[in-house]
Chains A and B, each alone.
Chain A
């Protein structure tokens, strides 16, 4: 009864809205359809319609996957303070962070699917018992468990909390807090495992570095919070949701510190690769300077570094960081910079030159670009839906109609800190 009401209320929340909302969702749907068409072309014709080849056997898809695992993992930056350390400033923003994690994971799984030949039906072979999951040997098998497990955690915890609020109950701590602890550890491990996927085999010197795991984490804790600042800023400007000034400020601090650490690690990598270049530095040389007439990635990585440095410098200046007019563009710049650095600048050059020294460059085809756009649109669509459902519940507007008495004034976690709202005007939708 309550559950049906929850679903109906969720459906109402995502289907009603102002014109801007509908245009936004319409555009996302259009891009998703385009991506779906491109994926259909790829799945039925084969991966030969992509720019990948025997030399560069992973391309744009795995690049995006590596980046988005980081965005998903970054939810821990809010989850840990909000639930474990009881930081009052993050108590509202944390649900949004979990929504970001879910949509990033949906995109990750989308990119893994796109990277696989044909339609994904053959994946029954990954199921234990009926198939054969090569665990614990295969790092990819670990990643399958890590990504899906993290997705389940980030779906169920917020759902439990939202649903409890919806039916006018206080979520019981002993029911969800153990899973919070699990998800904190899980967040770090999804990204480390993804890094080890690249770093573990000795075949690709560019990846085979103990710094890769920490670098992945640093860049994740830069790009993830940067995106959340943008999203929270948007929510704050367009709804009555009490995001909290301090939440954004604290996130900005985290982003700044992580961006600095990321640059330090980049610098450390550069010294390692170029102070005394060996044959193992060839991929790095290709990436940063080009080898002979091959230098397709040089403009990309230089742009990425320029963007990262510029944004980090802006964030390091306190007055600029505290001013949304500087903070928001800086976060957007950082997000794009990390996306290039970690996606295009890490996965693809690992394959160039090949282990036998041959240089074959990689250019994505229109199919790959359309599929990529489609998956990003899918992620943003999922994120919009989740936020759209969560906000009215957290604002106290959406409540089960079967409740006998009006819901008691209750708090989001942690209980004592939640502001109470007497004002029950409907959400401003425009």
Chain B
């Protein structure tokens, strides 16, 4: 199923458009920002849908690998991921927040996978030691996965902080900004 693990050509085109318009709008062009707003509204559902499909398949592949196809371990991982997703996304998460949560969870699994593999390689009882070049590759990937995981958390926090509706209250002649979930 190689094609199902990649974004379609059409989605890639939308992403390239979004990237291009974001760069231009960031330079301060208000007209481009309006155009970006329109494109974000139009293409978000498609990109989120496709990326979520990939997230589901990636999760399935990673669970199978980490658990070494042990059904009990698979179930435990599934439950752990569901709990993580629930804790991170919380209630009333927007579709973008759900996607960013999926990204955090997938990146976490990748970090876990590299940690498990590295621990196995560095275990003293390992009868088949690997070559230094293999270890170097693994360390590089482990570092990159960790960086990506932390970046994923940062973006989710930024989106949650900046894009959730906020209200301004005037209380005892003091202005108070309340951001985030207004239901609480």
Q: Do A and B come from one complex?
A: no
